Chain A
């Protein structure tokens, strides 16, 4: 295997992407954070404490699960699910939240703040803050507080203050804006636990490194369970892109493995109807401190996005993803709302697992390609989170579709897997 290249470079760039595009007030704190991260993340004591918390508190390693019923239903490649949904708090987000909260405590910060879209990073941050005795404030778009109400309650029960953000598109993007405004104001005693591989350096590399354990475990587990460290294809959904880099980083230099990121196709191809940055809509821009692919208009104003999944509903993507896409190492595709709900149903009915709507996007692509592959091949899917938080959203979505389509439910069971009428066509045909 080739030696991994130094990424990002010493200035925080992944090729032409990344960097530190922030107000001057944050420059020295970012330099301080980068120094602290570089220093502490190498120290044995820090690594040991992190490892112990991840093992005995968070529940690592998470299982690698051979989804035999799903495999059988799709009739092709063997599907393996990396069960990050079984991590404490129900998503991969805790890996990073614990890492950064530990770092914050080490740096002497008494207060942490976080943004959240689906609520999973907010819950993870609130959890890590409670665990380490830090004050915690979570910013969340008003729209997301409605569609992920359960997670708002969870954060409050964990002792965090949830501050709804009622500006702009009232989703994840605006929650990050408000977090940055808080950080710029309270930077002396506050650490900002950014929740994805986004933002100014050192966040994209730091968040990636706290999550790379996902792929490292998966390789070891595959070796044991399937006799190889290399799946044929590894798939993850990509909002900011943290669970994807968490899974992919261990496979980057293993060229036998195809890496596929799945973006949110939303409800259409026009700007504002999806969150697919790698399609025609995305162009190079600067948002939230990093130079990357952004959904924006010709004047450089950031576009609204849409996805049924709050965690993918974001107009930019982590800078490292863009470089890896340029190099042809990660291929990007998209799954729309209807397909994601279909995959949500499919996994629930075949395996008894409710996936997060974010992770359901990755399952969509697995269901597209597996039937065309041989039974000896392996598709590894990062099941980044569990779907309990999405129960209300899915029910609401179905009720709305029901009133629109008014199709009889009885035919839905013909595939042997009862799925919702709106998603039936997709599941029956096995994808596009």
Chain B
């Protein structure tokens, strides 16, 4: 079983949802990212999504767009991120899911990327703009399989039954359900249909289902955790990082926020 699958199995045994924080690697620089990964783990993260910054993040709202800009400005590269993961892998007791747009991976070459990512200790990969499709000529999925990387794909409120089936078929580790049509970030209330929609997806998918996009507060974590196997918080944490950058207390603040967000899961 993969490390990611393990996490969900353990959480299930503990009768709780997994908590999955996101950060953009290299925001504001990779040294800080290293500290923040440990802070998130210490705060109670079960799995961490490490975002690869991209020049054209079409699925992200302003908060993560700004984080990507800062990360690129500090010279962050995919190679740098993989080296960072490799250096900290042994001391970091949570699986790492690389969260990327496809072009940086495509530019590397999928097989070379998969080999390097696996060697660095990355556990799985989610490409925001690469839906599973057997006609994709780049052999993304076979390359990830060859190197033992989980492939996490997205489902959305617009996904048809046929697409749900396809995403379930090609995903490994878990399926990421996007809470609403839109980009990442806080939009106030979660959609009313979210509970029903998440249940619909879970019935049809034989894998754990994590829900993300716009989940910001401990109360929202608690409500989503009732129906999902995992809860993702991204922009809310990236915003905290943005506000506290340059402040000595940044890592402690992130650890504290993760602790607050996971609190409802430990009850």
Q: Hey, which bits of chain A sit against chain B, CB under 8 A?
A: 11, 13, 16, 19-29, 31, 167-168, 173-174, 177, 180-181, 184-188, 283-289, 291, 294, 296, 298-302
The residue of chain B having its C-beta at the shortest distance from the C-beta of A18 within the complex is: B137
Q: Would you give the shortest CB distance from B223 to chain A, in whole angstroms?
A: 22
Give which listed residue, B57, B78, B107, B155, contacts A296 with CB less than 8 A: B107
Q: Would you give the shortest CB distance from A388 to chain B, in whole angstroms?
A: 31
If A28-B163, A177-B56 touch, does A184 touch B182 (CB 8 Å cutoff)? yes
Q: Which chain B residues numbered 95 to 112 have a C-beta less than 8 Å away from chain A?
A: 102-108
Give A298 to B130 CA distance when docked, in angstroms. Answer: 20
Chain A interface mostly helix, strand, loop or mixed?
A: mixed
Q: Would you give the shortest CB distance from A397 to chain B, in whole angstroms?
A: 27
- Which residues of A sit under 8 angstroms from B160, Cβ to Cβ? 28, 31
Q: Are A300 and B105 in contact (CB under 8 A)?
A: yes
Give A31 to B160 CA distance when docked, in angstroms. Answer: 10
- Which residues of B sit under 8 angstroms from A16, Cβ to Cβ? 137
Q: Would you give the shortest CB distance from A174 to chain B, in whole angstroms?
A: 8
Most buried by A among B56, B72, B154: B56
Give A27 to B129 CA distance when docked, in angstroms. Answer: 10
Q: Would you give the shortest CB distance from B160 to chain A, in whole angstroms?
A: 5
If A24-B163, A28-B159, A29-B158 touch, does A173 touch B103 (CB 8 Å cutoff)? no
Q: Are A23 and B137 in contact (CB under 8 A)?
A: no
Give A14 to B159 CA distance when docked, in angstroms. Answer: 25
Q: Are A299 and B107 in contact (CB under 8 A)?
A: yes
Q: Are B103 and A27 in contact (CB under 8 A)?
A: no
If A20-B131, A167-B65 touch, does A300 touch B156 (CB 8 Å cutoff)? no
If A19-B136, A300-B78, A301-B72 touch, does A25 touch B181 (CB 8 Å cutoff)? yes
Interface: B54 (CB within 8 A): yes
Q: Are B103 and A302 in contact (CB under 8 A)?
A: yes
- Which residues of B sit under 8 angstroms from A28, Cβ to Cβ? 156, 158-160, 163
Give A300 to B202 CA distance when docked, in angstroms. Answer: 35
Q: Would you give the shortest CB distance from B60 to chain A, in whole angstroms?
A: 8
Q: Are A287 and B137 in contact (CB under 8 A)?
A: no
- Which residues of A sit under 8 angstroms from B135, Cβ to Cβ? 11, 13, 19
Q: Are B58 and A181 in contact (CB under 8 A)?
A: yes
Give A28 to B155 CA distance when docked, in angstroms. Answer: 11
Give A283 to B78 CA distance when docked, in angstroms. Answer: 18
Give A20 to B102 CA distance when docked, in angstroms. Answer: 12
- Which residues of A sit under 8 angstroms from B69, Cβ to Cβ? 167
Q: Are A289 and B129 in contact (CB under 8 A)?
A: yes
Give A29 to B160 CA distance when docked, in angstroms. Answer: 10
- Which residues of A sit under 8 angstroms from B104, Cβ to Cβ? 299-301
Interface: B119 (CB within 8 A): no
Interface size of B by Cβ–Cβ distance < 8 Å?
42
The residue of chain B having its C-beta at the shortest distance from the C-beta of A179 within the complex is: B58
Give A5 to B61 CA distance when docked, in angstroms. Answer: 41
Q: 10 closest Cβ contacts across the A-B interface?
A: A300-B107, A300-B104, A25-B156, A24-B154, A185-B182, A11-B135, A300-B103, A180-B58, A301-B55, A302-B55
Give which listed residue, A24, A25, A181, A299, contacts B78 with CB less than 8 A: A299
- Which residues of B sit under 8 angstroms from A291, Cβ to Cβ? 106, 137
Give which listed residue, B79, B159, B182, contacts A24 with CB less than 8 A: B159
Give A166 to B160 CA distance when docked, in angstroms. Answer: 34
Contact with A along B183-194 (1 / 0, CB 8 A): 100000000000
Give A25 to B105 CA distance when docked, in angstroms. Answer: 21
Q: Which chain B residues numbered 155 to 203 have a C-beta less than 8 Å away from chain A?
A: 155-160, 163, 167, 178, 181-183
Interface: B59 (CB within 8 A): yes
Q: Which chain B residues numbered 101 to 143 have a C-beta less than 8 Å away from chain A?
A: 102-108, 128-131, 133, 135-137
If A188-B181, A285-B107, A299-B107 touch, does A23 touch B56 (CB 8 Å cutoff)? no
Q: Would you give the shortest CB distance from A32 to chain B, in whole angstroms?
A: 9
Q: Are B103 and A25 in contact (CB under 8 A)?
A: no
Give which listed residue, B72, B77, B129, B181, contacts A187 with CB less than 8 A: B181
Give A54 to B167 CA distance when docked, in angstroms. Answer: 42
Give A20 to B167 CA distance when docked, in angstroms. Answer: 15
- Which residues of B sit under 8 angstroms from A22, Cβ to Cβ? 129, 131
Identify 17 residue pairs between A and B in the complex whose beta-carbon atoms are under 8 Å apart, listed by A's number: A16-B137, A21-B131, A24-B153, A25-B154, A26-B158, A168-B56, A177-B56, A177-B57, A184-B58, A187-B158, A188-B181, A287-B103, A291-B106, A300-B103, A301-B55, A301-B104, A302-B55
Give A184 to B54 CA distance when docked, in angstroms. Answer: 18
The residue of chain B having its C-beta at the shortest distance from the C-beta of A174 within the complex is: B56
- Which residues of A sit under 8 angstroms from B136, Cβ to Cβ? 19
Most buried by B among A167, A188, A284, A288: A167
- Which residues of B sit under 8 angstroms from A289, Cβ to Cβ? 129
Contact with A along B69-93 (1 / 0, CB 8 A): 1001000011100000000000000
Most buried by A among B61, B155, B158, B159: B158
If A24-B153, A285-B103, A300-B106 touch, does A168 touch B55 (CB 8 Å cutoff)? yes
Q: Are A25 and B157 in contact (CB under 8 A)?
A: yes
Q: Are A285 and B106 in contact (CB under 8 A)?
A: yes
- Which residues of B sit under 8 angstroms from A26, Cβ to Cβ? 158
Q: Are B156 and A23 in contact (CB under 8 A)?
A: yes
The residue of chain A having its C-beta at the shortest distance from the C-beta of B62 within the complex is: A167
Most buried by B among A20, A29, A301: A301
Give which listed residue, B56, B154, B159, contacts A302 with CB less than 8 A: B56
The residue of chain A having its C-beta at the shortest distance from the C-beta of B136 within the complex is: A19
- Which residues of B sit under 8 angstroms from A187, Cβ to Cβ? 158, 181
Q: Are B130 and A21 in contact (CB under 8 A)?
A: yes
- Which residues of A sit under 8 angstroms from B156, Cβ to Cβ? 23-25, 27-28
Most buried by B among A23, A186, A288: A23
Q: Would you give the shortest CB distance from A184 to chain B, in whole angstroms?
A: 6
Q: Are A301 and B181 in contact (CB under 8 A)?
A: no
The residue of chain A having its C-beta at the shortest distance from the C-beta of B153 within the complex is: A24
- Which residues of A sit under 8 angstroms from B107, Cβ to Cβ? 283, 285, 296, 298-300
Give A29 to B131 CA distance when docked, in angstroms. Answer: 13
